[in-house]
Amino acid sequence: MTNTTLGALKQVREAKTIVLSKLSDTTLPRDAKHILGEVLINLQEQENTLINFTLQEMVDKVNATNDELKDLIGQMNDTSLHLSAIANTIKKISGVLGTLTEITTKALDAGLLG
């Protein structure tokens, strides 16, 4: 596992902790909690992908789940101002994951990995 992958994994785990903390907020509206639940599932998939899949599989899976994560970010922004801070954190992680897949894809294409 590369340092970039480890860094992405660390950020995903930190985001999961933030989401879990926010889910315990009793003042959070039900629809916001539902979206956060979806985000948590997505982050779990990202974490599993970063840990378990081969590089090319990782690139494909992270790209697919990152697109879903971007959609969820949009829903979070639309749903509630309560979620804006967490949406910004998740957006940063989405950017890191996008960069990771881009770097890995270029390295694979150049024959540097795999």
pLDDT in tens, 63-114: 888 888 888 888 877 777 667 778 888 888 998 899 988 898 888 888 887 6
CA distance 6 to 113: 16
Confidence of residue 29 (pLDDT cuts 50, 70, 90): very high
Q: What are phi and psi of 110, to 5 degrees?
A: -80, -5
Size of the chain, expressed as the number of residues it contains? 114
* Closest among 16, 17, 20, 18 to 42, alpha carbons compared: 16
**Whole-model pTM above 0.85?**
no
pLDDT of residue 81: 65
Distances (CA, A) of 82 to 18, 33, 34, 91, 103: 13, 11, 14, 15, 34
Which amino acid is it at 109? Answer: D
Which helix (DSSP H) or strand (DSSP E) does residue 47 occupy? helix 30-52
